[in-house]
Structure 1
């Protein structure tokens, strides 16, 4: 049942606490994380629109990406198919015109936004590992504050402060400063803040500063992905004032905001979290039938199970609404993770019994105070998550609201949510648990750190650190297999209104030439190899700039395909370019790579996007290269790939610093 305790007593305590707040001159300094002079969404109306690339340019970029992957004869076939597609009478011309016309009629958004949402929400594969990535925090520099309940309280309070600042439009707008010394200033904020919103972006541009799309930010809170047959839906209820806490597979909620929208005092929030711990201490390590495991299921199966769960009892429907509407999920794990691999395993997937993977994000804190964000990906991308990630780390560590000696005085009021289960539901849960255990047991995680080589060396040698990192992946795979394969690197297009991501294709003719040379028994001279690395860096830099400016080919071809799928002319058969084996192969991303740069990130990881692939999360520090590689043996050997990667960086370092 739902254990509401003495609800009237709770309301009385809430009223008393609110009154006490006012009488003690409670300050905005506690209620809000930031108080920006420039409104949060000030630049949003004037953001440039995501461009649709020229069809001829997309064809050229697509063929350039295919060339290192195909034999000469296969490339010739693909080249002819592409020429036919984009030719005067080709299917691409009509589809492109339709896409452009549709875009002109929907100037409030981008051409990729809706189909990209649909792509995520229509995919039926389970969320954990396949879609939900993680970002792991570094520890609080003050070790005394890494005690689980202390860190959880401080990060929870900082999260609510972030949310309130966002909704009050006083969170600093997200801006990329090309030269922070000249633009990240009071003058910049004064000038751009005085400009009308419809022209504010242009004012920022004069400072060589680029405001980023913030349309995804509101979806961080009170949001949940709900499974439906065929296509999921995103749910949000911004009126809810409670947070969801999971511990030992049990569900608890308590309000973090009072009736007037003020954050409860730190001592009250700490008391509530301590109450959750004391209530769950009497529970077994995991319930016999953990309901959270259902969020690990294939989405149609989960949709059917959720419908049945609601039908068992109105109590279950009420509990699900409270889970869905919670600000976010705060997960307290009752175990310590010794070592980097167990830490990543726990945060990326765990055993599923103490998780709710459908929430917009979960803040997970283990027994030793290690913390991470695990987020659902359909609603948004790295820009929004990383901003939240960074801001709450800084706030919780520089302005901790509770301390190891903080005393709790108020009587906590926590609600435990219980679900009524029939035998059919218990069987579904048991099967889901078994299937999830099988999947997670097959996932392999390998970690590599390469000290002494990072941004500093690359900058000194005038090559891009990201290009060098990506080159290392190419060399390593070539060492391991003697081949080149489709490679995906995510690039944000948040410089545009409702931008999402574009794909950088790091496997190029330049990287192919270097791989074959460096892995040859007859290597060219060091000076020749240095020249090849610089060429790789130049090509990669151009690809990165194009992708960031919405000038890749992947999203354009994706958008055209979505139109073709509903076009009467192609109802029986898609245009030949989409039936070409080369198109399927380049979208079978054996190497899927991504990085988010922040001094507060200890690690980032995600699963392979194909069974015979590698999921490669990486970090580039000043004097260290780090990567976390996920794989599914026997389809791929992650340990061997990491060994090859280490040798690759040794080779590249030797060439660069010779």
Structure 2
């Protein structure tokens, strides 16, 4: 292979190695290893029995089908069908449950100027992407997959009865970059189409973008029946509402066309957040009248100029959005405008996007808005900010991620009295069309660590040894996941193959493996964790994944550790206890390692 990396955005994709497909035997061994710490002896025995039945029965047939698919022409990865099933197949609401957010660093700009700056930056990025001039991401000298960038602009998730679809550029239906020149702007629930590229494809200037936004903000009272709340519904229900919209009047098809082809969404909020917590909450599950949660990218700007992003997750992971946000925020608005070729063309063309609604649709919208408001009110968030970061952890000779993950385990044990299943997202973009791997954090070493930390008979040396052993195991498992050696997504895809093609493969009966305590408990999150390290964001956030789960989104910087926690209200008290214990655990573990260096 030529060692010279391409400088074209997508120029390295075909040279990336394929996502490794583990053997069925390897996956079965890892599955037992991963689920065992969460099980009783009886549960483990029951799980092993069903795993053996699976491995000697339907498992090899399903795995052979996966191998056949992986080798088929045009298939990029054995996960090509998995990702649509996982993300587009979910039937609950994606607002709060799936979309994720970043709260940007402050820019010191008023609302309109901040929004104009973000629009100019995003348009500059889009034009560079069109020409494949976004530099390819590189990690330790190895190029990373850039395919997700194709879903940044003019990409909209379309609800379906059984599975959603995605409307996007770079596709068979819409080849090449998006040709759209407009964005979708929300204010007071009113929707507007605003041209950000002129007739010749040149961007409007910062001043013109600001003038367009000011015109929108003078446009009138709040919308009577904003359609945005429909995007908060469970997916099949939203699909039915969308069909009702289309059936109500031909003009609704035109309105949806403008919404779905818009480059991205800008939501202007009158609200001024009281603090970072309220800002994060509003980004994640704010005013549904002022959102279209199916758009891949929604830039949200509050009344004081503070801002962030809400991202539809099906085609975009955090690492891709971080690169996009860094590119937007590390360069001045003026430089973005200049580089993009912006020139004076007058105030951008603006027109309202209006839907023709029946009484049934109006009732549907009101019910959707009320239901989502209740759902959001039943969710509790919390922010934590510590003047402690990765530099200090490295001084203590430990992996920063392993340190904070062990702190989570200790805090959870102390808050809830037990160690629960914990998910961590591991990026695998070093592979062709790579996305993420699912890591399960709880190991025997973790159980030993939390036990020793609260054992009055254990001295500092014993606690340090248990801590380092758990951290080392964590690092080793993370490396396995980065190498594509993890069991969960493999077994999950075999289950999905049985659902899709089981009858033609002769796999028609139930698959008891997927009802075992091992499969259920390993995936029943008590902590769902993911990190987003960037100096350009204050907080990263997402919702919890189960009725007892705490979503733990963290920004670990050299000198700062910021977290946004989210959980259902019935377990809010436990989340606050977890937060208190986490703050103490971080300092306790720091002191524990520091005392070793001092001795």
Output the TM-score relative to the length of structure 1.
0.84
- What are the residue-to-residue correspondences of 1:205-284 with 2, within 5 Å? 209-236=141-168, 238-279=178-219, 282-283=220-221
- What are the residue-to-residue correspondences of 1:154-553 with 2, within 5 Å? 154-176=117-139, 178=140, 209-236=141-168, 238-279=178-219, 282-283=220-221, 286-396=222-332, 399=335, 401=337, 410-451=346-387, 453-520=388-455, 522-553=456-487
Deviations 1:500-522 (A, max 9, x none): 211111111111111111123x2
CA distance in 1, matches of 2:347, 2:491: 59
Distance change >3 Å, CA 311–CA 575, structure 1 → 2:
closer
Cα shift at 1:42: 1.2
Unaligned ranges ≥5, structure 1:
1-35, 179-208
Match of 1:615, SS state, is strand
Residue of structure 2 equivalent to 1:18:
none
Moved more, 389-398 or 438-447: 389-398
Moved more, 100-109 or 317-326: 100-109
Contact 2:379–2:566 (CA under 8 A) maintained in structure 1: yes
Moved more, 241-250 or 38-47: 38-47
1:620 and 2:587 equivalent?
A: no
Contact 2:159–2:235 (CA under 8 A) maintained in structure 1: yes
CA distance in 1, matches of 2:394, 2:12: 33
Moved more, 297-306 or 234-243: 234-243
CA distance in 2, matches of 1:175, 1:103: 26
Contact 1:268–1:408 (CA under 8 A) maintained in structure 2: yes
1:79 and 2:74 equivalent?
A: no
Moved more, 426-435 or 310-319: 310-319
Contact 2:155–2:168 (CA under 8 A) maintained in structure 1: yes
CA distance in 2, matches of 1:269, 1:341: 29
Report how many residues are paired: 577
Residue of structure 1 equivalent to 2:174:
none
Deviations 1:43-95 (A, max 9, x none): 11111100101222212221121121011232233233333433xx3432222
Deviations 1:319-340 (A, max 9, x none): 1110000000011111110112
Deviations 1:387-440 (A, max 9, x none): 1111011124573649xxxx9993453111122212111100111111111101
- Which of 484, 492, 517 is the matching residue for 1:558? 492
CA distance in 2, matches of 1:77, 1:424: 51
- What are the residue-to-residue correspondences of 1:78-97 with 2, within 5 Å? 78-86=47-55, 89-97=56-64
Residue of structure 2 equivalent to 1:585:
521
Residue of structure 1 equivalent to 2:576:
639
Unaligned ranges ≥5, structure 2:
170-177
Match of 1:369, SS state, is coil
- What are the residue-to-residue correspondences of 1:4-43 with 2, within 5 Å? 38-43=7-12
Distance change >3 Å, CA 538–CA 314, structure 1 → 2:
same
Match of 1:445, SS state, is strand
Contact 1:241–1:258 (CA under 8 A) maintained in structure 2: yes
Match of 1:57, SS state, is helix
CA distance in 2, matches of 1:624, 1:216: 29
Residue of structure 2 equivalent to 1:198:
none
Contact 1:319–1:418 (CA under 8 A) maintained in structure 2: yes
Cα shift at 1:545: 1.0
Match of 2:331, SS state, is helix
Contact 1:113–1:500 (CA under 8 A) maintained in structure 2: no
Cα shift at 1:626: 2.4
Match of 2:319, SS state, is helix
CA-atom RMSD in angstroms = 2.1
Deviations 1:2-39 (A, max 9, x none): xxxxxxxxxxxxxxxxxxxxxxxxxxxxxxxxxx9821
